[in-house]
Chains A and B, each alone.
Chain A
Amino acid sequence: MNGHAILYTGVTLAFWSTILIVGICYTIFDLGFRFDVAWFLTETSPFMWANLGIGLAISLSVVGAAWGIYITGSSIIGGGVKAPRIKTKNLVRYFPYIACILNFSGTTPETIGARNYQAGYSMFGAGLTVGFSNLFCGICVGIVGSGAALADAQNASLFVKILIVEIFGSAIGLFGVIVAILQTSKVKMGD
């Protein structure tokens, strides 16, 4: 096994053994009632979830875009040695994201209200949706773009045909944005 595999198995082992030992301790001391998922979900602040959603949306979209460019770019560099004309046509990026503003005051579930908890969790979900869909969209567009660049280097008329396939790839990201808008449409802001 190489070093990476050892590291990952070690970390996973430590994580699961910690969970196991903590669980056994809770069971032995009859403190199982302290394991309370509802308490965790109501006591943690909705702000945290919303912020995580926003942060993940932006960061994962950026990762997707970067990865796509990396894939396309390496092909353009390779193909551009023999066919320099391809270099400007293929840098299509797709970088949508969604962010909305959550504003409320309150410290107890009654004053925060179920609505705002839902807002926090919805924004977390929406952020994940947008982030991951943009991530894979970016990778997809990158791979297709790389193929387009190399085909374009061979035969200039092929570029537009392959661009159509690239549009399908971009649609993935668009679908993600639409779903996220649907998720956050029910989010009511304020008290």
Chain B
Amino acid sequence: MSLAFDEYGRPFIILREQERKSRVKGIEAVKASIMAAKTVARTLRSSLGPKGMDKMLQSPDGDVTITNDGATILEMMEVENQIGKLMVELSKSQDHEIGDGTTGVVVLAGALLEHAESLLDMGMHPLRIAEGYELACKVATENLDNIKTRFEFSREDIEPLVKTCMTTLSSKVVGRLKRPMAEICVKAVLAVADLERRDVNLDLIKVEGKVGGKMEDTRLVEGIVIDKEFSHPQMPKELRDVKVAILTCPFEPPKPKTKHKVDIDTVEKFEALREAERTYFTDMVQRCKDSGAQLVICQWGFDDEANHLLMHQNLPAVRWVGGVEIELLAMATGARIVPRFQELTADKLGFAGSVKELGFGTTKDKMLVIEGCPNLKAVTIFVRGGNRMVLDEIKRSLHDAICVARNLVRDNAIVYGGGAAEISCALAVEEAADKVTGVEHYAMRAFSDALQAVPLALAENSGLPPIESLTAVKKRQLQESNPYLGIDCNDTGTNDMREQNVFETVIGKKQQLFLATQVCKMILKIDDVIKPSDFE
């Protein structure tokens, strides 16, 4: 195969160095791929649901991360296998698209492939399986549309949203503080949400963190937080209703870009230069003062003398503020970015309601909080946590909760969680399968079985007998035709997910089904894997 002959009968090599490459073909290839995908799915399986276990991941540098966020686990596992990477991509795309359900989608894909494997053993062609899956997926998503309900909330009545976020947060590290955290998330989302257009720009929510302090200290800042402090230790620490000048020129003597030399050969010139230098500083500060600015934010550094003059003139200033933050500040305060002192005029100033320097605990870190800006759209969630590990995990949890709130703002159609939607879809697919003849019939049945893997895993992780719980719920769903029954993970004594307030967005669920089916199809279509063998 790797050797071919040209028209003169001379051999030439298509695949070089055959012995250094490994290659699998045909059904073997499909099975190997399935195997790899299953392994990845199996790792994540125990992290599903509110009682899901965490994974401890040690990075190449020895840092430890503990998380049960599917996307994060897969990202940090540094999967090498190509099929494994597909699964990682799968979970990432769910993360980007929806931000939640990253574990579920991988578990589902794993289950689909597992069932495909047994169908392969029956001698079915991989593509026929894939087609059957697609058909079943269509049935399932249609069923989702049938069972979905609307979730009502408004800007005034945020309680339902808070409850939803609390459900998301309850399984995370912040479980202890789920109520305040959920409120922070919902407020942040609503602050930047455009309810008319049902759109939320998540870029406007900045999640900033600083190691130290308690989780309780996490708060929502309706403005901007920058990791800087006032340039002089004796400047006032808190300002109210200030006019802000934003400068991108340093408080330093000019440095023309043209190469030049100022030659000094007499004492007079020396004196003149000295005088010029002094007036230069006073001029700069005077210009700022004259424009009416009460706070100077500068992208560059200050000379000691300028710094003192600023302090002396009662003009608080911040130096070395990064470019991105400068732009954000300019947007929020409505100030124009001024590149030269000469161009600083009163109408180029912005406004801020309050500027505060916050100190933290015993450590000396300080940050500036700028609030009450006229063009308020940006908010910052300022996260505190004991160490980097906890901090990162809080950030991830908040991200999840924010995404959930955002999805509900975007589209308030929901289905109930706890495996209720999956079971209902499984039943629908099973019913549809009975009406189909041909090979697809088996594929659809397999799809239905795979769907039940999610509630199965949920029950298992929650310490419930998996098969008994699942069959009991399934039976009740059939008997009562009530699609809101799911696995009672939190041991509250009811299977009705409406009472437990456990739900997911329809888009999220649909996305899960689509993505899992697609990846499954993609993997089933591979029939030849060529890769270089391991480096020696």
A and B: partners? no
Give A contacts to B, CB under 8 Å. Answer: none
